[in-house]
């Protein structure tokens, strides 16, 4: 084969001069335009840059995406897919809109509440989550992507909202006739749930009292009273109520009251129709994009339907995300892409308009576009035509470079960098709508249009490219060879259309979820060989290109990425293509085709830097290799050829470059989050004058890594306490402070969810909002089924404002415990729980101590039943207030309890110093049940001593007419319920004979201390017998006095000195019938 010699270069300059000489009116500016046009046609010059910034982007979803193994949790699916994406060489993943739509099965492009990332309950079951899952799962997915070096690109929809109203639209309509009812049937009242105003009954009044952030009225939509615009790209309501960002498009709802509380609603739950001000929608959109950037730590944005809301809004919001979110700034390199559909002039014009100065920043082409012109726009040639309308290989590949948009990259002087902005693509969720069979397979063979829902396909020419097309790999080779950030559509890399497992595969299973291997190879070549580090040349278009017989420029398009790789594209199905081209490679460089299609053949760069390139046909049948219609010729390491294709493929490894750490920030305020039991229960400022906690959120951190936290106080000077817990309710870390920030680090020993919580340090201070920022590293590989985000225990918060065990608002995540479950009170709360009678599980109290001792009283004890009588209760004699001088009270409802748990009387518990047991540290009045259980004033819960530290204590039980008893030794009291059984003879007590043997193994307190002097005496001074006599009457010893009296030793409600069941005989029998002068002394120090 003859190799043509080199000729002089300078084609661009010569062509530009020629154009100016032919058209003198062009002038210098026109010549420059011609030069730029020729640059993207024939960009044969180099701009040296320190840094080249590019991304290979995976569109991580298709229209109606789902997987039955991850119902309503696409985030979990992507989390498990992440390691495979890393192996493929994906730099960034584009995810669908993550905020709440009307229904979780929606793809995401009908946003209802932008601040609901799957944490609120507001459209009825099952609408807590989004299509991506819960907020916790979304944030974990972002962090896992980062752990794999992969950026996350969030889809942004800000031209419209949809789904006004409660569960079925109730309250969403504003009947104002001129503007509101002009579109969307007037459904333009948007009110959102939040921590302060969760869903109540779904009624209109419920909806109208919701105070969630960024409420909207008909005045905020087109046509508005300000603009009265309803047609055209900006104003038409194509997708839902169309947002009007005009300065003066603000005002109240016409039918929501501006004040007042609906009948039957709690105080403070007032109608919400606040005043708005100028730029209401613009300001709120800016606040939201900054909040979203901080909350999620996504790395970039794809802006949906950018023709349909003002460019100045997109421009400013982009700069806010890039430069006005502090440590979360996306910076100059942030990937930002607008979905502007049009030809070269249209999309380049959009880039220019977006780049105009604003917010104090100068001109900067910070936003790219999808290259719709290259893919297919109008009736001209395109990638689409090359792939679909090319059965004979008759498409002229030489047309493709001229179809690219001109504004593909942007150069920064400081730091010196070239950032790729354009995004060439082959398919997207809009262009791709197959009709599927029951197994999710393509319903028709390749080329049959009835197998596609073409009426719903959008974008450019609005037509799909079937991944089964033989020239799809060639199309992708073009998009990867050109400038820009090539986008890989999910179904173009993963085969889910022919496996019968579209909806049932596991993302980790390479058999059930195989890749289209040519596309995988192209990605790996692009990444490992660093295409974008080299300047862009279209070598096949140069004058020196030589095509041997059977090859031509129309069938063989060849790019060079200067000194990095040469990419050949061949659209012929059966005919290989060859070419000799100039190159930037040094002479003697040995090249091999990394597609493998040319085997171990090499091509050596000649002395004049020309090199021979061969690209196999689309339909080649070489097994075990790729390169169907493309080739990738590049140097071999050490200039030593690979011994085999397998060795060459093994060398094509690449690690995405994004830092592994994730930083996410939660803003804690009452107009965010949700306190409904079916929500995640996250958000809210700390409450006024309350120790109750607020759940911030959760992170998923890898074991062996460090977690950093920073809490920014809304009201410095008032202390907040920050805490981290695991899902079992174990406290991992705590920090408190009243300065501007509270910060620290935690060494996390195991991979797990970590739950963050915030509360007032003191329960008597005003509440405040705050911001909680967490920096952590997630594991790169996660089995999401093994790490669900829900707590494993029931955590008591008392945020429902009561002690009601069965009020879900009192439990974190609304999780009322099972009867045998585990309950944790993590710290001091306003109300301790009143136990459900069925509860027999584990109770852990970190707010103080919990005691449930057992004791019998001799007086009312019946040895035949093993129970005490409840005659005082049935007689109505037990007082509502404790007789021991405390503040405890009991309700009539508790005293109505019958059976073994009926109340016998009040008793008193004492905790005494472990070193000096005569020192009483704490006392608490409690209730004694018939079966001997000592319980709290609710009649069923333990006795809580809040704020009492875990330690060793002596426990003493006292009664108003029985002798007290105390444990023989100090008892270790901690977070568990202490159930010291004073009724058991095996329980040691202080002193000698401190209790009465009641028979049958039961022990009880000695009855008869009527004088409450610590002794039972029948004779002598201050004896108890005389106390009874004097009470009934010295001269009327047979008198009987009813009531709640210390003289009623047997506690039958009657004080009797003589007769049957009299009280003095208990004293006599205790001291001894034949030793009436005996004294029984109380055994307490």
pLDDT in tens, 682-691: 999 999 999 9
Residues 6+ positions from 903 with CB-CB distance below 8 Å: 870, 873, 878, 890, 894, 895, 897, 927, 928, 929, 930, 939
Residue 379: its pLDDT value, please?
64
Q: Which token pair is 233?
A: 């790209």
24: pLDDT strictly greater than 70:
no
CA distances (Å), origin 239, targets 107, 108, 478, 586, 806 = 13, 12, 34, 56, 43
Mean pLDDT calculated for residue range 240-253: 97
Residue 677: its pLDDT value, please?
96
Q: Are strands 221-222 and 151-156 parallel, antiparallel or unpaired?
A: unpaired
Residue range 544-587, pLDDT digits in tens: 999 999 999 999 999 999 999 999 999 999 999 999 999 999 99
Residue that is written with structure tokens 């530009």 in the block: 16
Residue range 1050-1080, pLDDT digits in tens: 999 999 999 999 999 999 999 999 999 999 9
Residue 263: its pLDDT value, please?
96
Residue range 778-808, pLDDT digits in tens: 999 999 999 999 999 999 999 999 999 999 9
Residue 305: its pLDDT value, please?
96
- Using CA atoms, how far apart are residues 1056 and 1037, in angstroms rounded to an integer? 8
Residue 380: its pLDDT value, please?
63
44: pLDDT strictly greater than 80:
no
- Using CA atoms, how far apart are residues 76 and 782, in angstroms rounded to an integer? 9
Residue that is written with structure tokens 């794809």 in the block: 302
In which element (H, E) is residue 1080 found? Answer: strand 1079-1081
- Using CA atoms, how far apart are residues 406 and 271, in angstroms rounded to an integer? 53
- Using CA atoms, how far apart are residues 909 and 4, in angstroms rounded to an integer? 105
Residue range 106-118, pLDDT digits in tens: 999 999 999 999 9
Residue range 421-433, pLDDT digits in tens: 999 999 999 999 9
User: In sequence order, what DSSP letters do the residues of 1019-1060 get, joined into one string?
Assistant: SSTT-HHHHHHHHH-TT-TT-EEESS-TT-TT-SSEEESSST
Q: What are phi and psi of 1037, to 5 degrees?
A: -65, -15
Mean pLDDT calculated for residue range 52-65: 97
Mean pLDDT calculated for residue range 251-273: 97
CA distances (Å), origin 12, targets 16, 37, 43, 44, 48 = 6, 10, 8, 8, 18
CB count, 10 Å around CB of 89? Answer: 22
Q: Which range has the worst mean pLDDT, 458-467, 646-655, 857-866, 960-969?
A: 458-467
1: pLDDT strictly greater than 50:
no
- Using CA atoms, how far apart are residues 819 and 267, in angstroms rounded to an integer? 34
Q: Which range has the worst mean pLDDT, 43-47, 415-419, 553-557, 633-637?
A: 43-47
User: In sequence order, what DSSP letters do the residues of 501-562 get, joined into one string?
Assistant: -TTT--TT-TTTS-B-HHHHHHHHHHHHTTGGGSPEEEGGGSTT-B--TT--TTTEEEEEET
Residue 461: its pLDDT value, please?
79
642: pLDDT strictly greater than 60:
yes
476: pLDDT strictly greater than 80:
yes
- Using CA atoms, how far apart are residues 690 and 383, in angstroms rounded to an integer? 64
Mean pLDDT calculated for residue range 876-899: 97
Residue 38: its pLDDT value, please?
36
Residue 28: its pLDDT value, please?
32
859: pLDDT strictly greater than 70:
yes
Q: Do residues 468 and 499 lie in contact, with contact meaning Cβ atoms separated by under 8 Å?
A: no
Identify which has the larger pLDDT, 391 or 602: 602
Q: Which range has the worst mean pLDDT, 45-54, 322-331, 392-401, 575-584?
A: 45-54
Q: Band the pLDDT of 390: cuts 50, 70, 90.
A: confident
Residue that is written with structure tokens 């058209």 in the block: 23
Q: For the chain, state the CA radius of gyration.
A: 39
Residue 670: its pLDDT value, please?
98
- Using CA atoms, how far apart are residues 662 and 140, in angstroms rounded to an integer? 10
41: pLDDT strictly greater than 70:
no
Q: Comparing C-alpha atoms, which of 2, 1, 7 is closest to residue 582? A: 7
Mean per-residue pLDDT over the chain, rounded: 94
Distance of CA 745 to the CA centre of its chain: 21
Q: Comparing C-alpha atoms, which of 967, 961, 1044 is closest to residue 1007? A: 961
Query: Among residues of the chain, what percentage have pLDDT more than 90?
Result: 92
Helix or strand or coil: residue 908? strand
Residue that is written with structure tokens 């197998």 in the block: 451
Q: Band the pLDDT of 37: cuts 50, 70, 90.
A: very low
């Amino acid at each position: 084969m003859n190799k043509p010699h080199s000729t002089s270069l300078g084609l661009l300059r010569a062509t530009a001069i020629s154009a100016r000489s032919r058209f003198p009116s062009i002038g210098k500016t026109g010549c420059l335009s011609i030069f730029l046009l020729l640059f993207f046609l024939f960009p044969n010059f180099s701009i040296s840059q320190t840094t080249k910034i590019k991304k290979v982007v995976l569109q991580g979803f298709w229209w109606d995406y789902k997987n039955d193994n991850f119902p309503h949790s696409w985030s979990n699916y992507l989390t498990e897919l992440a390691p495979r994406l890393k192996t493929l060489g994906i730099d960034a993943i584009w995810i669908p809109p993550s905020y709440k739509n009307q229904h979780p099965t929606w793809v995401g492009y009908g946003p209802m509440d932008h601040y609901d990332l799957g944490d609120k309950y507001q459209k009825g079951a099952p609408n807590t989550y989004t299509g991506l899952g819960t907020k916790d799962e979304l944030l974990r997915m972002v962090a896992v992507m980062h752990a794999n070096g992969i950026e996350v690109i969030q889809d942004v929809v800000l031209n419209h909202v949809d789904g006004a109203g409660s569960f079925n639209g109730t309250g969403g309509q504003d009947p104002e006739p001129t503007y509101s009812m002009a579109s969307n049937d007037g459904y333009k009242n948007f009110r959102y749930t939040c921590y302060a105003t969760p869903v109540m009954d779904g009624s209109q009044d419920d909806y109208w009292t919701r105070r969630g952030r960024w409420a909207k009225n008909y005045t905020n939509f087109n046509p508005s009273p300000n603009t009265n615009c309803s047609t055209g790209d900006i104003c038409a309501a194509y997708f839902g109520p169309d947002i009007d960002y005009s300065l003066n498009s603000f005002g109240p709802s016409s039918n929501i009251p501006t004040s007042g509380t609906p009948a039957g609603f709690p105080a403070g739950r007032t109608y919400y129709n606040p005043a708005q001000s100028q730029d209401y929608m613009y300001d709120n959109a800016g606040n939201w994009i900054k909040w979203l950037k901080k909350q999620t730590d996504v790395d970039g944005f794809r802006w949906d339907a950018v023709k349909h809301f003002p460019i100045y809004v997109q421009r400013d919001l982009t700069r806010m995300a890039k430069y006005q979110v502090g440590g979360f700034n996306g910076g100059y390199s942030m990937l930002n892409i607008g979905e502007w559909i049009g030809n070269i002039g249209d999309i380049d014009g959009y880039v220019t308009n977006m780049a105009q100065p604003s917010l104090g920043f100068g001109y900067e082409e910070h936003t790219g576009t999808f290259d719709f012109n290259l893919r297919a726009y109008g009736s001209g040639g395109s990638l689409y035509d090359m792939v679909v309308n090319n059965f004979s290989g008759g498409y002229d590949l030489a047309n493709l470079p001229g179809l690219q948009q001109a504004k593909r990259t942007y150069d920064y002087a400081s730091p010196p960098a070239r950032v790729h902005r354009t995004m060439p693509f082959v398919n997207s969720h809009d262009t791709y709508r197959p009709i599927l069979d029951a197994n999710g397979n393509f319903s028709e063979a390749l080329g049959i249009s009835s197998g596609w829902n073409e009426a719903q396909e959008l974008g450019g020419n609005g037509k799909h490219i079937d991944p089964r097309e033989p020239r799809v790999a060639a199309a992708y080779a073009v998009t990867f060879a050109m400038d820009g950030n090539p986008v890989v559509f999910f179904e173009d890399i993963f085969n889910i259309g022919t496996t019968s497992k579209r909806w049932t595969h596991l993302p980790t299973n390479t058999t059930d979820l195989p890749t289209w291997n040519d596309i995988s190879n192209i990605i790996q070549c692009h990444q490992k060989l660093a295409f974008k580090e080299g300047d862009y040349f279209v070598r096949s278009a140069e004058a020196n290109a030589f095509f041997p017989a059977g090859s031509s420029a129309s069938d063989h398009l060849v790019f060079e990425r200067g000194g990095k790789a040469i990419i050949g594209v061949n659209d012929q199905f059966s005919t290989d293509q060859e070419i000799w081209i100039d190159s930037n490679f040094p002479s003697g460089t040995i090249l091999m085709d990394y597609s493998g299609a040319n085997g171990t053949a090499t091509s050596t760069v000649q002395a004049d830097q020309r090199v021979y390139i061969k690209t196999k046909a689309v339909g080649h049948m070489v097994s075990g290799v790729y390169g169907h219609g493309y080739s990738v010729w590049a140097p071999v390491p050490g200039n030593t050829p690979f011994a085999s294709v397998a060795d060459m493929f093994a060398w094509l490894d690449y690690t995405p470059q994004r830092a592994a750490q994730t930083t996410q920030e939660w803003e804690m305020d009452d107009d965010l989050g949700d306190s409904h039991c079916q929500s995640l229960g996250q958000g809210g400022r700390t409450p006024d004058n309350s120790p109750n906690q607020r759940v911030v959120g959760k992170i998923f951190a890898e074991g062996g890594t460090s977690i950093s936290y920073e809490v920014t106080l809304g009201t410095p000077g008032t202390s907040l306490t920050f805490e981290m817990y695991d899902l079992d309710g174990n406290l991992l870390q705590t920090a408190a402070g009243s300065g501007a920030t509270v910060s620290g680090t935690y060494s996390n020993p195991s991979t797990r969810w970590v739950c963050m919580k915030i509360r007032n340090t003191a329960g008597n201070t005003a509440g405040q909002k705050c911001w909680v920022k967490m920096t952590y590293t997630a594991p790169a590989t996660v089995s999401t089924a093994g790490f669900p985000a829900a707590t494993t225990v029931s955590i008591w918060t008392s945020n429902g404002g009561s002690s009601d065990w069965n009020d879900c608002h009192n439990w974190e995540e609304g999780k009322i415990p099972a009867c045998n479950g585990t309950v944790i009170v993590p710290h001091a709360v306003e109300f301790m729980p009143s136990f459900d009678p069925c509860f027999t599980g584990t109770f852990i109290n970190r707010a103080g101590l919990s005691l449930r001792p057992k004791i019998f009283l001799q007086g009312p004890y019946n040895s035949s039943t093993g129970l005490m009588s409840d005659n005082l209760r049935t007689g109505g004699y037990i007082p509502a207030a404790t007789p021991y001088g405390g503040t405890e009270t009991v309700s009539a409802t508790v005293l109505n309890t019958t059976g073994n748990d009926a109340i016998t009387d009040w008793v008193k518990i004492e905790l005494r110093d472990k070193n000096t047991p005569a020192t009483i540290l704490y006392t608490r009045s409690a209730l004694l049940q018939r079966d001997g259980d000592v319980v709290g004033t609710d009649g069923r819960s333990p006795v809580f001593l809040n704020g009492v530290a875990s330690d060793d204590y002596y426990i003493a039980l006292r009664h108003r007419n029985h002798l007290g008893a105390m444990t023989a030794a100090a008892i270790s009291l901690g977070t568990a319920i202490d159930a010291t059984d004073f009724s058991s003879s095996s329980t040691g007590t202080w002193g000698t004979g401190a209790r009465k043997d009641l028979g049958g193994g039961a022990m009880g307190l000695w009855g008869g201390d009527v004088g409450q002097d610590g002794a039972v005496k029948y004779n002598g001074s201050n004896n108890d017998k005389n106390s009874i006599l004097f009470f009934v009457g010295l001269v009327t010893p047979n008198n009987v006095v009813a009531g709640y009296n210390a003289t009623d030793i047997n506690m039958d409600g009657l004080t009797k000195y003589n007769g049957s069941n009299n009280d003095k005989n208990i004293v006599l029998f205790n001291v001894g019938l034949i030793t009436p002068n005996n004294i029984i002394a109380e055994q307490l120090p």
